[in-house]
Chains A and B, each alone.
Chain A
Amino acid sequence: MSDMFAEVDVLVIGGGTAGPMAAVKAKEKNPALKVMLLEKANVKRSGAISMGMDGLNNAVIPGHATPEQYVKEITVANDGIVNQKTVMAYAQESFNMINQLDRWGVKFEKDETGDYAVKKVHHIGTYVLPMPEGHHMKKVLYRQLKKARVEITNRYMATRLLLDANGAIAGAMVLDTREGTFGVIRAKSVILCTGAAGRLGLPSSGYLFGTYENPTNAGDGYALAYHAGAELSGIECYQINPLIKDYNGPSCAYVTGPFGGYTANSKGERFIECDYWSGQMMMEFYKELEGGNGPVFLKMDHLAEETIGTIEHILHSNERPSRGRFHEGRHLDYRQGMVEMHISEIGLCSGHSASGVWVDEHAATTVPGLYAAGDLACVPHNYMLGAFVYGQFAGQSAAEYAMSHELPAVDDVQVEAERKRVLAPLSVVDGLPPAQVEYKLRRFVNDYLQPPKVTKKMEIGLDRFAEIRADLDSMSAANPHELMRAMEVHFILDCAEMAAHASLYRTESRWGLYHYRVEHPEKDDADWFCHAQLKKNEAGEMTCFKRPIEPYIVELDDEEKDAYNRLRVVKQAEAA
């Protein structure tokens, strides 16, 4: 098989949620541009929304919320560490995007008068817009891709970005996951839309692919950006979610909350004021789980029959439709019992928390010609609608960049080094199976990186990771599929080291459970009211540094600042 070789203007890597939007918007900006969408799976069924979605978690709709309110909510939910400009840019475009999706045929819940039926889940504002018929999301996107004449390349995986002599983007190097061959795609600009680092921690079931995130997202984009010299941010602000015990779907309080379901302890009592996922909420969840009133449950057995029927219809048909099968196997009926819950493995995901590749309000990273959108781009709590909005920004920005730049020359040294690295496992005979290396690596992630974070443990973790790095050369791949998994192990290892370094660097606690450091239990605004950045320095080492927070464009009063620190329900007797 000969190498794949292509030349395009804009290359979009990852065709899940943000990627298709970015590709369509780049084409809309200039239909003459050659735009390629590269996808590890098949764009028809790839990414976090492969089966659709239950709803929009962060819709900013006039009459229900203002962009200013939303910026405040996210600033507080993310404990002050936000570049408000990026959140504001999202919030101002949120409503336009909803209307566009509505025109494209996405079905949102509406009331009798035809207005969007927004529900309250967050602590302060009202932003959740259900999509009870949300399973057709990928079809809607696919239609737009075809209409815009985006070139789709399925079953290829990017393994490294290609740089020119000045460190600007020159394209990407790729693996054909079905043939096991190497390829080069030259591009004037590149957009990373590869989703979360979802295969970082190991689910407590021990099943490698039973992760919360779609496990195709192994943290590829985090590693691609890192090796290209881009700045990453907030890596220590892990993603940890409340999930059904053993099953990897949310229960889900966003769906059930508006119907009267809530998170409860083993006595059936409410213990948190608000079910919106934040580090502060996860901390209370963790305390209850580990305390005498644990474990934690989702309670719905007090609801009326037709309400439960509606909840079941949504939860068992969209997003994670195998949920019903799981409950069936455990003989659980929402009418008769509470759903046992647990906390997920750790991951990196700005869609849910804040760890990602640093971007400005135009989706530009710190590498010229490189843009990022979706779960891997650092715009806190951005979720699906944020992926669409930043996909749009990235598509437009990358198109503009491509229009004013020539195709950079290809550096053969980079290409040859990467070809060697990527194809190496094919020529190792009887080497370590990638699955075993991955299992061990991710078990160490659990043992040493999971909060509560302990300094010594994280240091030992780094030693173990270094040993695994030495094992990478001994991995063998028996077929192209295993070669893809072997390359993913490289990405996961990069992400594990980033998670350890970033967590050690920030010597305070912040974001509740996400960054709870046992030796530094307090929040330290004097030293740490700043972004913690991470990048590869000239010597090729992982380094961390501070980036000051841009002056807020929306000020918060003290009461608001503290809102997410008062999530625990105060019992009447104690309050009196």
Chain B
Amino acid sequence: MPMTLNRVSVPVTVDEDACIADKGCTVCVESCPLDLLAIDLLKKKAFMKFDECWYCLPCEKDCPTQAIRVDIPYLLR
């Protein structure tokens, strides 16, 4: 069936200067109970891949460099 790509704003922002995924860190990817975060293989930085957030904050709390900021998803902000 025909498909389209809708844009959505996601609640998780990664500060790419602070993120050390290029040094092998995957802490936030392992923490997220909903498995929403991934490492961009080209940029070697973490990013939010799926907009299915419980705004529970383990990703932010566990990040060793405080690179993550979780906002309340726009729909309920």
Residue numbers of A with Cβ under 8 A of B are 41-42, 44-47, 50-51, 155, 177-178, 203, 205-211, 214-216, 246-248, 320-322, 325-326, 329, 430-433, 481, 484-485
Q: Does any Cβ of A come within 8 Å of B3's Cβ?
A: yes
Docked pose: A246 CA to B72 CA in angstroms: 10
- Assess whether B76 is in contact with A205, with CB atoms less than 8 Å apart: yes
Chain A interface helix/strand/loop/mixed: loop
Shortest Cβ distance from B73 into A: residue: A207
Given contacts A209-B54, A322-B55, A322-B57, contact A41 B35 (CB under 8 A): yes
- Assess whether B3 is in contact with A430, with CB atoms less than 8 Å apart: yes
Contact residues in A for B70 (Cβ distance below 8 Å) = 322, 325
Nearest Cβ distance between residue A532 and chain B, in whole angstroms?
A: 31
- Assess whether A44 is in contact with B56, with CB atoms less than 8 Å apart: no
- Assess whether A214 is in contact with B35, with CB atoms less than 8 Å apart: no
Docked pose: A42 CA to B71 CA in angstroms: 22
- Ranked nearest first, the 8 interchain pairs of A and B with the lowest CB-CB distance are A41-B33, A205-B76, A45-B58, A322-B55, A246-B76, A207-B75, A209-B52, A45-B31
Partner of A329, one of B1, B34, B72: B72
Shortest Cβ distance from A431 into B: residue: B1
- Assess whether B61 is in contact with A326, with CB atoms less than 8 Å apart: no
Docked pose: A34 CA to B14 CA in angstroms: 40
Residue numbers of B with Cβ under 8 A of A are 1-3, 30-35, 49-50, 52-58, 61-62, 70-73, 75-77
Contact residues in A for B50 (Cβ distance below 8 Å) = 481
Docked pose: A50 CA to B33 CA in angstroms: 8
Nearest Cβ distance between residue B59 and chain A, in whole angstroms?
A: 9
Contact residues in A for B76 (Cβ distance below 8 Å) = 203, 205, 207, 210, 246-247, 326
Contact residues in B for A431 (Cβ distance below 8 Å) = 1
What are 29 sample pairs from A and B whose C-beta atoms fall under 8 A apart? A41-B34, A41-B35, A44-B30, A45-B32, A45-B58, A47-B33, A50-B56, A50-B58, A51-B57, A203-B76, A205-B75, A205-B76, A209-B52, A209-B53, A210-B73, A210-B75, A320-B56, A321-B57, A322-B56, A322-B57, A322-B70, A325-B70, A326-B72, A329-B77, A431-B1, A481-B35, A481-B49, A481-B50, A485-B52
